[in-house]
Amino acid sequence: MGKRNRTALLPNNLPQLQNLIKRDPISYKRDFLQQYRHYESHSFPQQIISLLSENYQILHPNLRKTMVQTLVLLRNKDIIPSVTDKQLRELLYSYIVTDIKNQNAKHKNNKLNKTLQSFMYTILQGQQQQQQNNVKIGGGRINSEMSENSIAAKKSLDVCIELYRKGIWNDAKTTNVIAEACFHQVTKIRVTAIQFFLGSNQDQDDDSSEEEKQLPNVKKLQHINQINKTKKSRKRKLEKALVSIRKKELQKHKAENFNFSALHLLNDPQGFSEKLFSTLTNSQFNDRFEIKILSLNLISRIIGIHKLVLLNFYSYLQRYLQPHQRDVTLVLVILAQACHELVPPDVLEPVIRVVANNFVSDHCASEVMTAGLNAIREICTRQPLAMDATLLQDLTEYGKDKNKGVMMAARSLIGLFREINPELLKRKDRGKIASMNLKDFKPLQYGEVRAMERIEGIELLEEYKKQSSLGDDEHKDEWAEWEIASDDSSGEEGWIDVPSDDDQDIVVSDSSDEEIDKNNVDVNEKNVNEEKVSTLATTQLLTPADFAKLNELKLEHKTEQIVDGGKRKRSSTQQNEPSDIIDVNTITGPRKKAKQDYEERIESIKAGREGREKYGSSKGKKVEGASTTNKEKARNKAFMMVIHKKNVLHKKKMSLREKQV
């Protein structure tokens, strides 16, 4: 019995086994081989890792998949440490993304997707809970360095982002899993999630051909230009109008690169923005200024899109509203994006006052003043009630400034308030149209919104459809008055009376009263036509092709206004709604090009000469295929051939005095 118990303990008692092998090697040979195989098993995972690292491209997919599953099983049982090979991690990452993509190629595998999404969320949440427990036990600041679990959480986040961009996991669950990563303790994971919502690292694979599909019909506009008076000035106006519209349309398409769909899929935007804003004031998250700017930009974008109310956000931004602040133009963009019509005017009034005092004053540079005026304009575009008459009239005085950027910014502010509230402007700044409509004008109150009564530019589409239907109706009108010949024949058929033009009664009037009445009727008809509202949207169903044609007609209408009117006239087809995204160039305004130094001028001259050799001078250049001149031939001749020449003999006979002269 004692011997049996001793044998059972041999696998765990290696010194005892060693002693027994010395006494009786043959009897314990099998036990020794078993222990040796256990020893060799520890090098087995390393052999698989080296085989995958060196030969992963030539291995069969099924074999490679089985080997990876083996490593995962060994890692789950904590037999091997985590993967430290970066190339192998990239291989696993690409394989996971490709495998999930193939599983959802024909149809979406919802069961698999839900399981994997829950697993990714567990990895992110589990690592975050571990970090929080370490903080509670040890205290102090959160350690933001990448550990083994953090690397796994980062890769799982990358998988979610990549599958969202490929359109496989573009649902609300994936979006909210990525949103939870915005509060991660590891800085790298938090920045990756924030950049996903901002869209700054999104691939821009849109072709330029797709952008040019929505541009105006250039051939049609050129044809109109040829029919009308042919002038160089008109042609220049046409080209300038097309260039400006192309730039505007390209800017609109660039703005669409942001992840608006992901921001709209958030379950609780108000709670998300409040929680993210609390991390900025939390002492545990002592982040760099670049990361704070990313968080502020995301918060402002969510506030603007979802029309949220976060009152402490505006007072927090006031500390960064200084001209010497780093990335101050981006701070002004963040401030303007976070404004909308539901923000109380009392909250924005001190913010506008701070911007006006710090940026718009005589001791500031012209670029600073331009940025301040443009920022105030963007804020007032979204919330006009935040501006008072005294401050506005002070700012409009810069409309006559010598600097072009300051002047344009001030005049754009005047043009804005001519539309939204001309009562705040001085009488000289209101303009003719605003002054005439001032009696019937009623400014919007807090929370009030003007509802659209019709589709913008629908009258252009109705006119286009009428013109296109005329060609089809012309052939019908030609046969409208013709009668079908009957088969009945009778001898009593008589003549057909045809009305003659001479039989018409002519009425001559002795007074001019009828002309006056006729003129009044024409005027009334014009007024009726002007007040006539399009009924196309209420009588027909508009298809996607109709809306595409409507956008094209609106662009052509803008071009015709610019070409014909000289100055741009605002009409009902122009959009007045502010954009959710503000570009930094909107705040900075137009900048004067800096004067080039000597080296820059030389480089620009050399760059302009590239590819223009055929237009240059041929002086001193040898033309291909041409022979040399007689002087060059004489210079290259051997000396013995020219030794008897008169010039050579004369040089020999010259005296020293003649040679010096």
The predicted-structure confidence for 571-595, as pLDDT tens digits, reads as follows 433 445 566 778 888 888 877 776 7
The whole-angstrom separation of Cα 95 and Cα 103 is 12
Domain borders along the chain are: 20-81, 268-440
What is the structure's pLDDT at 265?
87
Residue given tokens 């660039």 in the structure block: 254
What is the structure's pLDDT at 359?
93
What is the structure's pLDDT at 529?
45
What is the structure's pLDDT at 636?
86
What is the structure's pLDDT at 547?
83
Q: Cα separations (Å) of 584 from 40, 316, 321, 328, 332?
A: 63, 21, 15, 10, 9
What is the structure's pLDDT at 607?
86
Q: Is the pLDDT of residue 173 over 80?
A: yes
Q: Which of 142-151, 270-279, 336-345, 464-473 has the weakest average pLDDT?
A: 142-151
What is the structure's pLDDT at 137?
47
Distance in angstroms between the alpha carbons of the first and the last residue of the chain: 132
What is the per-residue pLDDT across 589-616, written as a single tens digit (0 to 9) for each? 877 776 788 888 898 888 888 877 777 7
What is the per-residue pLDDT across 380-419, written as a single tens digit (0 to 9) for each? 999 999 999 999 999 999 988 888 889 999 999 998 998 8
- In the predicted model, what is the mean pLDDT of residues 75-86? 69
Q: Which of 59-73, 95-109, 249-263, 429-443 has the weakest average pLDDT?
A: 249-263
Give every CB contact of residue 550 below 8 A, 6+ residues apart in sequence. Answer: 455, 457, 458, 460, 461
Return the closest-CA partner of residue 554 out of 577, 531, 573, 581: 573
What is the structure's pLDDT at 597?
83
What is the structure's pLDDT at 350?
93
- In the predicted model, what is the mean pLDDT of residues 419-448? 81
Average pLDDT, the chain: 76
The whole-angstrom separation of Cα 399 and Cα 404 is 9
What is the structure's pLDDT at 573?
36
The whole-angstrom separation of Cα 221 and Cα 223 is 5
Q: Exposed/middle/buried for 588, CB within 10 Å: 0-12, 13-18, 19+? A: middle
Residue given tokens 């169903």 in the structure block: 541
What is the per-residue pLDDT across 509-551, written as a single tens digit (0 to 9) for each? 444 444 444 444 444 444 444 445 667 777 778 888 888 888 8
Residue 377 banded pLDDT, cuts 50, 70, 90? very high
Give the DSSP H or E segment for 557: helix 544-565
Report angle CA 203, 205, 211 to the nearest 5 degrees.
130
What is the structure's pLDDT at 20?
85
Q: Is the pLDDT of residue 648 over 70?
A: yes
Q: Is the pLDDT of residue 499 over 80?
A: no
The whole-angstrom separation of Cα 644 and Cα 616 is 42
Q: Is the pLDDT of residue 257 over 60?
A: no
Whole-model pTM: value is 0.60
What is the structure's pLDDT at 360?
92
Q: Is the pLDDT of residue 110 over 50?
A: yes
Interhelix angle for 86-103 vs 61-76, to 10°? 110
Q: Which of 106-120, 135-149, 528-542 has the weakest average pLDDT?
A: 135-149
Q: Is the pLDDT of residue 473 over 70?
A: no
What is the structure's pLDDT at 495?
53
Choose between 332 and 631: higher pLDDT: 332
CATH number for domain 268-440, candidates 1.20.950, 1.10.3470, 3.90.380, 1.25.10: 1.25.10
Share of the chain above pLDDT 70, in %: 71
What is the per-residue pLDDT across 291-307, written as a single tens digit (0 to 9) for each? 999 999 999 999 999 99
- In the predicted model, what is the mean pLDDT of residues 257-271? 77
- In the predicted model, what is the mean pLDDT of residues 141-169? 77
Choose between 61 and 203: higher pLDDT: 61
Choose between 289 and 566: higher pLDDT: 289
Q: Is the pLDDT of residue 134 over 80?
A: no
The whole-angstrom separation of Cα 635 and Cα 648 is 13
What is the structure's pLDDT at 441?
75
What is the structure's pLDDT at 558?
66
What is the structure's pLDDT at 317?
93
The total of other beta-carbon atoms located within 10 Å of residue 304's CB is 23
Residue 347 banded pLDDT, cuts 50, 70, 90? very high
Residue 229 banded pLDDT, cuts 50, 70, 90? low
The total of other beta-carbon atoms located within 10 Å of residue 556's CB is 18
Indicate the residue type of 267. Answer: N
CB 536 within 8 A of CB 462: yes
Return the closest-CA partner of residue 257 out of 200, 323, 172: 200
What is the structure's pLDDT at 308?
92
What is the structure's pLDDT at 336?
93
SS3 302: helix
Range with top average pLDDT, 87-96, 382-391, 432-441, 548-557: 382-391
CB 343 within 8 A of CB 309: yes
Q: Is the pLDDT of residue 94 over 80?
A: yes
- In the predicted model, what is the mean pLDDT of residues 123-132? 67
Choose between 525 and 55: higher pLDDT: 55
Residue 6 banded pLDDT, cuts 50, 70, 90? low
Cβ density class 403-438: b for 16+ within 10 Å, e for less: eebbbbbbbbbbebbbebbbebbeeebbeeebeeee
Share of the chain above pLDDT 90, in %: 18
Residue 211 banded pLDDT, cuts 50, 70, 90? very low
Q: Exposed/middle/buried for 643, CB within 10 Å: 0-12, 13-18, 19+? A: exposed
Q: Which of 164-178, 376-390, 489-503 has the weakest average pLDDT?
A: 489-503
* Residue 194 φ then ψ, to 5°: -65, -40
Choose between 168 and 525: higher pLDDT: 168
Return the closest-CA partner of residue 318 out of 328, 303, 305: 328
